[in-house]
Amino acid sequence: MAEETKEKVVKAPKEKKVADPVAASMDLATQIMIKRAQELGVETVFDRAESMKPCNIGIQGTCCKNCAMGPCRLPLTKSVEDGPDERKGLCGATANTIAARNFARMVAAGASAHSDHGRGVAEVFMSVAKKETNDYKIKDPQKLIAIAPYLDVATTVEVDGKTVDRDLDEIALEVAENALNEWGKPSGELRYLKRAPQPLYERWKKLGVLPRNIDRETVEIMHRTHMGVDQDYKNLIKQCTRCALGDGWGGSMLATDLQDVMFGTPYPLQSEANLGIMKQDHVNIIIHGHEPILSEMIVAAAQSKEMIDHAKTVGAKGIQLGGICCTGNEMLQRHGVPPAGTFLQQELAIITGACEAMVVDVQCIFQNLANVAKCFHTKLITTHPIAKMEQENVVHIEFDEHHAMEDAKRIVKMAIDNFKNRRAEVMIPRQKATQIAGFGVESIKYHLGGTFRGDYYTLNDNIINGRIRGIAGVVGCNNARTRHNEAHIAIVKELIKNDVIVLTTGCNGIACAMEGLLSPETAAVFCGPGLAEVCETVGIPPVLHLGSCVDNSRILLAATEVVKAGGLGKDICDLPAAGSAPEWMSEKAISIGHYFVTSGVYTVFGLHLPMSGAPVFQDYMYNELEKIYGGMWDCEADPIKHAHKMIAHIDKKRKALGIDKARDRVLMDMADRQKLEAM
Ligand code: BF8
C-alpha cells in the first residue's frame, strides 16, 4: 500500500502551457511570430501569461507589504451592504489606506520614470548650452524661444532704450539652469504650472496641490506610505496629485520641450509600422526603451556613408532601423524610423532571426530579451548606467553625451559585423502598414488652421458645430493579460465612428499605426460622417500620433490651446473630452492617468484598477474626485462599453456647454463663441 502511494506521488513533469497565438493577439504578424517561437522552443511573454496567473488580492489593491509584519492581505469577501468593513492589517491599516498607499507608490514610480528621463534630457541640454558636446546642437531655436518665458527666461533685452533679441546661447544657458532647478529647488512651485488654463491653476492653488519641485513630491510619497505615516486615503491622494502634476506639467513636459529644442519639433511625416518593416537583406537594428538621447545618434550613425559602406562590405544592402516602445516613437516622430512593434512584440523582433542588434536604454524592457537573444545571433546591448541585465550574453556599452557619436558608431558597427552570424532561418512576417505620424501642438495648429489662420479656432468651430463630437486621448501600454491590441483598436474605432477625434501616444499609437488607423484614407472607412468630412478636408488621419508617453504632455497643452481658442468653456474640465488607457500595465500609466484626472479629464482604464478591493476608496476616485478636480477615474474592461462611457461624458460636456443640439454645421464667429462662454 505504502509502495503504491509512493508511486502515485512521482508524477511526470508538467508540460509547459503555451499560448494560443490567435487568442493572444489580434495582429497577424504577432500570431505568426508567436507560432514561430513555439516551433523553435523559444518562450515568450504570451506563453508565460498562460502558465502564471496574477494574484487576485494584488489585483484588488489590498495587499500591503510595506513592513515585515506582513504581507497583510485584505481580499474583499463581502459587499458594502453586508455590514461594516472590519478588515485590517496587523497595524490596523484599513483596506482604503492600503489601496491608497499602493496607488500612491505606483504614482511615485511612474512619475519618477518620466521625470528621471526628463532630468537626463535636461542634463544633456546643459552640456549643449555649455558647448561641452559637439554631437548635439540646438535644432529648433524657435521652440527654445517659445519655452523660455515659461521658465522665466527673457528672450529680449533693453539696449540704449531699444528692445533687442537676446543672444541665443545666453537664453539656452539660462533655460538649462532654470529647467534643471525644477527637480530640486528649495522653495516655490513648478514654473510650467502656469501654462495650464488659469482657472485650473487657481483650483490647484486653492486645493494646495501645486508641486513644489519634481523630486520632492516623489520622496514625500515614499515617506507618507512608509509604515505608520499617512493613514487617510484622501490625504494620500492629495499628495498623489502633487506628484502626478509634477510629472505631467513638470518632468514629462520638460523632457518633451527640451527634446524638441535639441532634436527638432516633430512635423507630420510618412512611415510604416509592424514587424514587416525589418528587411532580410539589411542589417536590422532595433532601438527600444524611452530616452531618445542615444538613439538620435544611432539614427545619424546608421545614415552615415561610412556605416552604409561598411554594411555593404558584409553583404547587406543597407541598414534598417526599427523601433519598439517609446524610443521607437521618438525616432518615428522626428525621423520617420518605423516602429517594429509595441511593448508585447519586443521578443518577437529577435525571433525573426534577422535582428543583428537590439539596443535598449530604460523602461519597458523585458529581462527575457536576454534569454531570447541567446537562441539567435542577436547582440542585446544595454546602454544606460541605471538599466543593466544580469545575463552574461548581454553587452553593456555605456553611453555618454560627451562622446555620443563615437558610442553610436561603435554600436552600429557591432550590429553590422554581426550580420554574417545569422544562425536560424530568417522569418520576417510580411505585415506592415503605412502611417502618418509626427503630430504635436504646433502641427495641429498648422494643419487645422493653416498658415494664415494657424490656431485652434477651426478645431473648436468643428467641435461646436458638431462635425467633431469631442476629443479623446487614447494612450498607453499592452498587457499580456488581454488580447494584444484588441481593446486599443476596438476603442479607437468606436470613438472615430462616433465622430470623436483621437490623440494617441505610446503603444496605442503603434497599435493604431499597425492597424492602418494613422492614414488619412482611414477617415472614409471608419469615421462618422462629420469627422470624415473634417479629416478629408484638411488631409489628416482621424487618429493623430503625438509621440511617446512623456509626450502626453503635448495632449495637456493641446487641450489648453483648445480652451484658449474659445467657445468650449474656460477650463480643461469643460471640454467635451475624455482619456483612455485600454491595455495599461505600467506604473507610468497610473501617474499619467492621475495627472489627466486632476487636470480635469474623465479617464477610463481597461482591464482592472488596483482599488476594487477597497470600495470606499474606489468610490472616492471614481466619483468624488470629479467634484474636486472636474475629472475622475473609471475602469471598464469591455472595449465598446469603455468607448461609450467616454462618449457619454463627451455628450454630458456638450450639453453643459449648450452645444448638444449644435450639429447644424453653422460656422461660429467670435461673437457667437463669446455668447457661449457667457452661458
Ligand atoms: O512609456 S505605452 S508599454 S512603451 S509604458 Fe511602455 Fe506602456 Fe508602451 Fe512607452 Ni508608455
Question: pLDDT for 356-373, tens place per residue?
Answer: 999 999 999 999 999 999
Q: What is the mean pLDDT of residues 555-581?
A: 97
Return the half-sphere exposure (C-beta side, CA atoms, 13 A cut-off) of residue 311: 24
Rounded distance between C-alpha atoms, residue 194 and residue 182, angstroms: 14
**Residue 454 pLDDT > 80:** no
Q: Which of 548, 514, 459 is nearest to 345 (CA)?
A: 514
Say whether pLDDT at 5 is over 50.
no
Determine whether the shortest distance from the Cβ of 477 to ligand 1 is under 6 A. Answer: yes
Angle at 140 between CA 443 and CA 165, to 5 degrees: 115
Ligand 1 pocket, mutate which of 256, 286, 586, 592 (most atoms under 8 A from CB): 586
Residue at 102: amino acid letter:
N
Centre of ligand 1 from the C-alpha of residue 548, in Å? 8
Q: Going by CA atoms, what residue is nearest to atom 4 of ligand 1? A: 325
Residues 323-350, mean pLDDT to the nearest whole number = 98
Q: Which pLDDT belongs to residue 81?
A: 79
| Per-residue pLDDT at 665 exceeds 60 | no
Cα(476) to centroid of ligand 1, in Å? 6
677, pLDDT greater than 80: no
pLDDT (average), residues 384-413? 95
How far is ligand 1, taken at its centre, from the CA of residue 477, in Å? Answer: 5
Bigger pLDDT: 284 vs 661: 284
Is 205's pLDDT higher than 80?
A: yes
Confidence at residue 661, expressed as pLDDT on a 0 to 100 scale? 82
Instruction: In whole angstroms, give the CA distance from residue 31 to residue 153.
Output: 52
pLDDT at position 672, please?
59
| Residue 324: pLDDT over 60 | yes
**What cell was used for 284?**
536590422
Q: Residue 670: its pLDDT value, please?
A: 56
pTM: 0.94
CA of 588 to the centre of ligand 1 (A): 8
Q: How far apart are CA 610 and CA 69, in angstroms?
A: 22
Q: Is 324 in the pocket of ligand 1 (CB under 6 A)?
A: no
Contacts of 255 (CB under 8 A, 6+ apart): 114, 115, 117, 118, 121, 122, 550, 553
Mutational test site, ligand 1, from 344, 361, 363, 366, max ligand atoms within 8 Å of CB: 363
Q: Which of 112, 326, 479 is the best mutation target for the ligand 1 pocket, counting ligand atoms within 8 Å of the beta carbon and taking the most?
A: 326
* Phi, psi (degrees; rounded to nearest 5) at 35: -65, -45
- The string of pLDDT tens digits covering residues 47-71 is 999 999 999 999 999 999 999 999 9
Q: How confident is the model at residue 245, as a pLDDT?
A: 98
Ligand 1 proximity of 358 Cβ (cutoff 6 Å)? no
Give Rg (Cα) of the chain: 25
Cα separation, 76 vs 88, whole angstroms: 11
Q: Give the pLDDT score at 2.
A: 46
The pLDDT assigned to 671 comes to 60
Whether the CA torsion 112, 118, 124, 126 is positive or negative: it is negative
- pLDDT above 50: residue 678: no
Model confidence at 579: pLDDT above 50: yes
The pLDDT value recorded for residue 473 is 98
Q: Average of pLDDT values for 407-427?
A: 95
**Higher pLDDT pick, 444 / 206:** 206
304 CB burial (10 A radius; 0-12, 13-18, 19+): middle
| pLDDT number for residue 424 | 77
pLDDT in tens, 619-653: 999 999 999 999 999 999 999 999 999 999 999 99
- The backbone region for 336, taken as left when phi is positive above 0, alpha when psi lies in -120 to 50, beta otherwise, is left
Is 588 close to ligand 1, i.e. is its CB under 6 Å away?
A: yes
Is the distance from the beta carbon of residue 404 to the nearest atom of ligand 1 less than 6 Å?
no
Type of residue at 673: R
- Atom 3 in ligand 1: residue holding the nearest Cα: 477
Beta carbon of 323 within 6 Å of any ligand 1 atom: no
Q: How far is CA 606 from the centre of its chain?
A: 15
What is the pLDDT, as a whole number, of residue 449?
Answer: 67
Only one residue has cell 524611452, namely 290
- According to DSSP, the β-strands at 633-635 and 602-605 are parallel
Which one-letter DSSP state was computed for residue 620? I
SS3 165: strand
Q: Which residues contact 567 (CB under 8 A, 6 or more apart)?
A: 460, 461, 464, 668, 672, 673, 676, 677
pLDDT over 70 (residue 675):
no
Nearest CA residue ID for atom 1, ligand 1: 549
Do 276 and 431 meet the contact criterion of CB atoms below 8 Å apart?
yes
548 Cα nearest atom in ligand 1:
9
Query: CA-to-CA distance for 167 and 161, rounded, in angstroms?
Result: 17
Mean predicted lDDT score pLDDT of the chain: 94
Is the CB–ligand 1 distance for residue 439 below 6 Å? no
Strand partners, 359: 287, 381
Give backbone dihedrals phi and psi of 302, rounded to 5 degrees, phi first: -65, -25
- Chain segment 164-177, per-residue pLDDT in tens: 999 999 999 999 99
Residue 604 bridge partners (DSSP): 580, 634
With a 6 Å cutoff on the Cβ, whether 474 touches ligand 1 is no
pLDDT of residue 529: 96
Is residue 309 pLDDT above 70, yes or no?
yes
**Stretch 183-209: mean pLDDT, rounded?**
98
- CB within 8 A of 275, min separation 6: which ones? 29, 30, 33, 340, 341, 345, 348, 349, 352, 428, 429, 431, 432
Q: Which of 66, 91, 47, 119 is nearest to 372 (CA)?
A: 47
- Which domains occur in the chain, in start order? 95-263 (1.20.1270.30), 275-421 (3.40.50.2030), 441-657 (3.40.50.2030)
Ligand 1 binding pocket includes 480 (Cβ within 6 Å): no
Higher confidence at residue 4 or residue 297? 297
Listed in order, strand segments (DSSP E) in 266-364 are 269-273, 283-289, 319-324, 339-341, 355-360
292-303 and 252-263 are packed helices; what angle lies between their axes, rounded to 10 degrees?
20
List the single range of 178-192, 258-272, 437-451, 535-549 with lowest mean pLDDT. Answer: 437-451
Q: What percent of the chain has pLDDT over 70?
A: 94
Residue 593: what pLDDT?
A: 98
Q: Which pLDDT does position 152 carry in this prediction? A: 98
Average the pLDDT over 272-276 and give the result.
98
Does residue 300 surpass a pLDDT of 80? yes
Structure confidence at residue 342 (pLDDT): 98
Strand, helix or coil for residue 406: helix
Select from 112, 252, 510, 588 the residue to mutate for testing ligand 1; criterion: most ligand atoms less than 8 Å from CB: 588
In which order are the strands placed within the sheet that holds 577-581? Answer: 543-545, 500-504, 470-474, 577-581, 602-605, 633-635
In this predicted structure, the answer to whether residue 7 has a pLDDT above a threshold of 70 is no
